[in-house]
Structure 1
Amino acid sequence: MAPAPSATAHAQQAQDDDVDHAIAAHLKRQVADQLAKIVERDPSMGQDERQQRGRALISEAVAIWATASAVESGRPVPPAAERRMAAAVFDLLFRAGRLQRYLDDDRIENIFVNGHDRVWVDYGEGQRVKVPPIAESEEDLRELLRDLARRSGSGERTLSTANPFLALQLEDGPRLQVISEVTPNGRTYVAIRRHRVRDVDLAGLVRLGSIDTTLATFLAALIRAKKNVMIVGTQGVGKTSLLRAMAREIPADERIGTLETEFELFLHELGVHEQIVPMAAREGNGERAGDRSAGEITVSDLIYPALRMSLRRMVVGEVRGPEVVPMLRVMTNGEGGSLCTLHAREPGMTFDRIAELYLEYGHGMTETLAYRQCANGLDFVVFVQMLDETGIGGRRHRFVSHVLEVTGMGENGRPATNTVFGPRPEAGEPRAVPLMHPSCLGDLMRVGLPAHLLDNPHGTWERPLDLKVRAM
């Protein structure tokens, strides 16, 4: 992987970028007005033609600006400067403005905007770098965000005093969350989360060091044996990437449904599965209809209609609320093989977190019922962990640390588990290695799992994880 650019490199990048962004913003508004009149005359115009018309208008506007600038300064505008100005105007009109260069950089994982002139980017290896401003003012930043909302098909959602929050999914999948108005000094705060690993399979996660070949073979067997699996961990550790990789093991002709808050799995775009029904929740328009927003569709709302689509498996991108109840009902009553993710800090917190969500669901839900449905519906819990040593000159390590088999109800009224894979601290290995055979080993052997792989106490890791600090 190429190293992340240094702060000096970003400063040089800003120095080399001689675009006057105030002029670019002015030209963008001018072209936008012209293009709006053209589209008004031909509302059936597609996006490709709009961009083609837009490029022509931008070229004309930039040429006029360059001529006027040359007359005023007595020096011609270099052709390269004209091209950079045209590109800046195009990005403002059709893309994400000055944010676009960071959205296009595959090494960047997060973008944090604490106002128009205070911007940082996080690289996957853990380096955080301050970068140049992305707008000339707070109002220019809010204009950019309103443009992004409109182009994303979320025109009914915008930033205003009445609506200080905005959540969007940008082109190619990054998630954007905005908070404005309720912040001090009129600043607008933006967090953008990018999925650096989009088209990934289990072999790819082996190459990234998240799992070894032994665990990859085991996880593939869980899919073939139609075991219900919940992937657990904190934010940003790689749960979605692992879910995406495991889902790719589902036979291509098997009918599956993906249910998400926003499309992040992208299974329907990868061309692997022939019978996939992708579904995403929808926010309401802000007006209230009873106890919810008018037009709102939640993941919970999607589950039961999805069952009528003759789906063999359900893949829920993230269980974060009431959808946990119908999801576990599907796992309990269905033929198996469903997948989902859940936020929890430790493997042992998984069932308590599910119980919390059950209690939030209401309607007679109890902790006891939650534990029983976990015991009856879940087959395996896969925990993903991140060790961040960037503060001491190291890097971020993301890996699977535990695989728990759920074996029914325990004597204490909670689900009983076997730790099939887990760390070996005594050997300096925090990653998941075989610890014991699962009770369902026969099911896995019937779909091709070589049982002897689970007898190697160190898996197929060549050496323990290279850490700067090891647990004592």
Structure 2
Amino acid sequence: MHAEPVYNGSPYPPPAPPAPTSVPAGAAQPHMVGQAAVPQVRIDYRAAQEIKRIVLEQLLKEKKNNPSLTGEAEEQRGRALINEQVAIWSDATGRGGAYSPVEEGELAGLVFDMCFRAGRLQRYLDDDLVEDIWIEGPHRVFLKYSDDAEPVQVGPVADSEEELEELVRDLIRASGQSGRTFSTFSPEVELRLKDGSRVQALGPQVTGEFTHVTIRRHRIQHADLATMVRLGALDEQMADFLRACVRARRNIMFAGEQSSGKTSLLRATLREIPASERFGTLETTFELWAHKNGYHQHVVPMEARASNGERVDGRAAGEITLLDLMKSAKRMSLTRVVVGEVRGPEITAMMQAMTSDRPGNMCTIHASEPEAIFDRIAELYLLAQSNFTPDLAYRQIANGLHFVVFLSVDDSGPVKRRFVSHIWEIKSVGPDGRPTYNEIYRPASEWDQRAVPYAQLSQRNLQKLERAGLRTDFLAQPGAWTHEVHA
């Protein structure tokens, strides 16, 4: 069980409070951290909203006279203004001196987060165990922890629908993606927070009553394949196989249902690309972070951009799609192209890159089960252009794609499990016009879906992988899942 965390986002280090000897009747009960009780601190959220308004108005005035007041300088000035306004508020309430430094520090910390970070959400974003945040209107907030199968309901992050919509706009401002809007005329927004979290918000114009917000955390941002083995997403043998695939420049597609760990495994596999190699990442929202992993030296990161809501000549003004980025990538002298997720017309450019450009490209795709992958690609082909056919998609799969790595999710127990369940080697088009494949790895059994070796590679791919350092007899060895599956 997870208790709702005490708010601890203050940018000012308050003095340590004395340890409480008792809890008065009717007071909030303390949370337990280890063996020590941490007292709850009540916060006046209406006061926080008013102080936020005053501080932002003052900052706006000062920035007009001093355009260089940005970044850290703006935050430092904001801290000073917040301190000042909290002191004024404390005196004005008629309880001057009655608020403790801890209470004033907590209020100041909340206002700082409302001005520069994620407001009342920040406490949950600071918790490394929180995996997903679901906001279903102002009064229903749920946390999905990495070590719990069931979501936990916590206190509200807004007191009204209007305040919740303002929180979404605060998230846009704090993310630095000022070109995105959230309003009656633009009731849907997707954005990336500075910590890498992915936000999807839908306004009441879409949902019917309240704003809904989903925040997907990326807890495993800089993992390599060894880390993924320790987390139980795959075993050492499969990690060696993926390393050889990257070195041998094989085209790989990572597939699976939502939240199955596709992006995490792709992100880890990218660490096998040589540090000096120049490659590009194309994403709707940055999640791979190859350009910030401290390892690769020549990554060209490309992020799609949403429209500003207007249309010019039938096209959404300001929009940059993944398909646009795929065309740009061809002019960037890249050795590989990596697409965070193909989910639209860009599938055609991705498959063309796999068939006509230098191999070694990678991407992820949503699919409910391995057998649905080929039809999922064909479906995206049909959506891309009306004169495209499934036969064209099937031929390009067979000609360009070398391996499919499928990840599965098991949430039947108390802890959600994510792991590789299948690895397919793609072969030629079969008599029925669909691609054929070798099932290199398949689930161990009906009860254990973790992948184990099953069939030999084709001679063509085996020779390439052996030259890349893979042991000739690697598939003759049994699978070796030595870690509990909890990635």
TM-score by length of 1: 0.92
Q: Is the 8 A contact 1:159 1:166 kept in 2?
A: yes
Counterparts in 2 of 1:399-438, with a 5 A limit?
Answer: 399-425=419-445, 428-438=447-457
User: How much has 1:156 moved relative to structure 2?
Assistant: 4.2
Gaps of 5+ in 1: 467-472
The equivalent residue for 1:81 is 103
Q: Does 1:451 align with 2:451?
A: no
Distance 1:76 1:12, change over 3 A: closer
Gaps of 5+ in 2: 8-28, 32-37
User: How much has 1:139 moved relative to structure 2?
Assistant: 1.3
User: How much has 1:403 moved relative to structure 2?
Assistant: 0.3
Q: Is the 8 A contact 2:235 2:482 kept in 1?
A: no
Cα deviation digits, residues 139-187 of structure 1 (max 9, x gap): 1221121122233344343332222212221112111111113267742
| Partner Cα separation in structure 1 for residue 257 and residue 221 of structure 2 | 19
Q: Is the 8 A contact 1:375 1:407 kept in 2?
A: yes
Amino acid at match of 1:225: A
The equivalent residue for 1:68 is 92
Greater share of residues in helix = 1
CA RMSD of aligned residues (A): 2.0
| Partner Cα separation in structure 2 for residue 371 and residue 156 of structure 1 | 38
Distance 1:12 1:178, change over 3 A: farther
User: How much has 1:462 moved relative to structure 2?
Assistant: 4.2
Cα deviation digits, residues 61-104 of structure 1 (max 9, x gap): 111112223xx247621111111111111111111111001111
| Partner Cα separation in structure 1 for residue 241 and residue 96 of structure 2 | 71
Distance 1:117 1:364, change over 3 A: same
The equivalent residue for 1:99 is 121
| Partner Cα separation in structure 1 for residue 103 and residue 382 of structure 2 | 60
Q: Does 1:120 align with 2:142?
A: yes
Q: Is the 8 A contact 1:160 1:181 kept in 2?
A: no
Q: Secondary structure at the match of 2:341?
A: strand
Amino acid at match of 1:21: Y
Amino acid at match of 1:202: L
Q: Is the 8 A contact 1:230 1:340 kept in 2?
A: yes
Amino acid at match of 1:410: G
| Partner Cα separation in structure 1 for residue 198 and residue 101 of structure 2 | 36
The equivalent residue for 2:393 is 370
Distance 1:79 1:142, change over 3 A: same
Cα deviation digits, residues 360-400 of structure 1 (max 9, x gap): 1115211110000000000000000001124xxx2111000
The equivalent residue for 2:16 is none
TM-score by length of 2: 0.90
| Partner Cα separation in structure 2 for residue 254 and residue 222 of structure 1 | 16
| Count, aligned residues | 456
Amino acid at match of 1:117: H
Q: Which residue of the other structure, out of 391, 407, 420, is the alignment partner of 1:384? A: 407
User: How much has 1:291 moved relative to structure 2?
Assistant: 3.2
Deviates more, 1:120-129 or 1:380-389: 120-129
Distance 1:327 1:465, change over 3 A: closer
User: How much has 1:136 moved relative to structure 2?
Assistant: 2.1
Cα deviation digits, residues 205-246 of structure 1 (max 9, x gap): 100001000000001110010000000001101000011011
Q: Which residue of the other structure, out of 55, 77, 80, is the alignment partner of 2:79? A: 55
| Partner Cα separation in structure 1 for residue 343 and residue 436 of structure 2 | 23
Amino acid at match of 2:114: L
Distance 1:22 1:121, change over 3 A: same
Cα deviation digits, residues 405-439 of structure 1 (max 9, x gap): 0011112211110000111217x531111112211
Q: Is the 8 A contact 2:419 2:485 kept in 1?
A: no
Distance 1:204 1:465, change over 3 A: closer
| Partner Cα separation in structure 2 for residue 433 and residue 156 of structure 1 | 47
Amino acid at match of 1:454: L
Q: Does 1:223 align with 2:242?
A: no
Q: Secondary structure at the match of 1:429?
A: coil
| Partner Cα separation in structure 1 for residue 469 and residue 153 of structure 2 | 50
Q: Is the 8 A contact 2:90 2:96 kept in 1?
A: no
Q: Secondary structure at the match of 2:204?
A: coil
Amino acid at match of 1:425: S
User: How much has 1:127 moved relative to structure 2?
Assistant: 3.4
| Partner Cα separation in structure 2 for residue 74 and residue 149 of structure 1 | 36
